[in-house]
Amino acid sequence: MFVFDERLADLVLAYCRERLSLDPVPLDYGGYDTSFSELLEGLLGPSGNDPQKVLDLFTERLATAVISHDSPRFLSFIPAAPTKAALLFDMVVSCSSLNGTSWLLSAGAVAAENQALGVIAELAGLPAEAGGTFVSGSSAANLSALLVARDTAWVHGHASPGRTRIALSGEAHSSVTKAIHILGAEPLVVPTADHHLTGGALAAALDADDDPSSVVAVVATAGTTNAGIVDDLATVTAVAHERGLWCHVDAAYGGGALFSERARRRFAGIGAADSIAIDPHKWLFAPYDCAALLYRDPSLAKAAHTQDAAYLAALHTAPRVPGMPPAGGKGGGEDPWNPTDYAFGLSRRSRGLPLWFSLAVHGTEPYRDAVDAVLATARAAAELIDETPHTTLVRAPELSIVLFRRNGWSRARYDAWSAQLLADQVALVVPTTWEGKPVARLAMLHPETTLDVVKEILDSMA
């Protein structure tokens, strides 16, 4: 029924080839004023359409109404800059229907994903036994990790599962607040010192609290999304462990900077975390959707996340067939390593493989160089802003997010300017808020974002 069609394959592959070779990727426009109902009317019905026509509709009318996250002029939210090798291998993952749920069915794919996780774990300084899985994004990673923290609280000496609280700072990502809500837990918001969560502030908050034993975990952020600020991980992990708390580090955006020797100093202490979330689909140059979730002690995660069902028992207890290799762990060992045991969700795409392939093809050095290049551009952008008479740097960037003011502008001025900047295809820069006031925000992670683009942006504010 759905037989292989050479022409359809050629059409789609030709488009993929063309999209991959765009240099630079055009920024394009989003969906602010566009309506698609007429365009899409009647397209999906009992009988199909000519593939060429459908593809043209997509490439000419739909794809152009998507702002390209991978354009070097996309400087808002968190951009994307996947390597071509990773993008191409993502197609292989799709074309092979790679399902990386279990060792029993997909040992080869799982071993390769675990090798990629191992590179990240080593950069972070986690012990060799650390492991985990790739999930769809750090929202899913944060939720999965905090579920383990909650369910294993007794390991850390919390006897009463009655009330569960999780400490975090006001700068933690919205997905962390959401995860706490989903888990039926309550937040304990710890005040920050110059926007950084510190161990001292955590200890003081626990000391001042009338129910500290209900606090089972703390979330530190290694690269806040709004400002790229790295919490004081060394003191937070130390205090967390003194007080028997699980320490989760949300390094969704900032984790890529572990590749930079210079930036890595800011992450001192991350290796002592109980769990870490890092989005390769952000600063590790992988395609969507890919988040690395790592646990210091994966057995705790396995106890919390393993799904039990009659038909799944075979995944956990596969007998050894004489003459066949053992059911290996992360890439050896005896216990089957099932990625599905380390996060919520069962079926999973082998979404770590594009990163694995790209790391294998390129080696880690270009990753280090790309991250260093982005960090250097962010520092240069900050200097330029400082020297420009009509702008004021809000603070020196710790990583690659630069906040600054156009002197004298209201929020409405920023909004109007931002819309015009996109209309002119100069850049996507949307304003944010800092200490209650509107500011402009440049989120950099594309290695090809140049200082010239920043100059164009600053000139447009004159």
Ligand X SMILES: *Cc1c(COP(=O)(O)O)cnc(C)c1O
For binding to ligand X (CB under 6 A), which residues are involved? Answer: 78, 137-139, 173, 175, 221, 225, 250, 252-253, 279, 291
Which residue, 78 or 429, has its beta carbon nearer to ligand X?
Answer: 78
Contact 203, 239 (CB under 8 A): yes
Which residue, 71 or 138, has its beta carbon nearer to ligand X?
Answer: 138
Question: How far apart (Å, rounded) are the C-alpha atoms in residues 238 and 269?
Answer: 8
CB atoms within 10 A of CB 119: 18
Minimal distance, residue 250 CB to ligand X, in Å = 5
Q: Taking Cα atoms as reference points, which of 280, 334, 335 lies closest to residue 116?
A: 280
Three-class DSSP category at 177: helix
Which residue, 109 or 168, has its beta carbon nearer to ligand X?
Answer: 168
Contact 305, 147 (CB under 8 A): yes
Minimal distance, residue 225 CB to ligand X, in Å = 4
Minimal distance, residue 457 CB to ligand X, in Å = 22
Question: How far apart (Å, rounded) are the C-alpha atoms in residues 132 and 257?
Answer: 20
Which residue, 252 or 461, has its beta carbon nearer to ligand X?
Answer: 252
Comparing every residue's Cβ against ligand X, the nearest one is: 137
Minimal distance, residue 175 CB to ligand X, in Å = 5
CB atoms within 10 A of CB 212: 15
Minimal distance, residue 185 CB to ligand X, in Å = 17
The 3-state secondary structure of 253-298, one letter per residue: CHHHHHHCHHHHHHHCCHHHCCEEEECHHHHCCCCCCCEEEEECCH
Q: Taking Cα atoms as reference points, which of 378, 369, 309 lies closest to residue 340?
A: 309
Minimal distance, residue 57 CB to ligand X, in Å = 29
Residue bearing tokens 């919490």: 231
Minimal distance, residue 173 CB to ligand X, in Å = 3
Cis peptide before 298 (omega within 30 of 0): no
Which residue, 137 or 331, has its beta carbon nearer to ligand X?
Answer: 137
Question: What's the residue count for the chain?
Answer: 462
Minimal distance, residue 139 CB to ligand X, in Å = 3
Which residue, 202 or 290, has its beta carbon nearer to ligand X?
Answer: 290
Distances (CA, A) of 89 to 359, 360, 384, 392: 11, 12, 38, 43
Residue bearing tokens 């920043």: 454
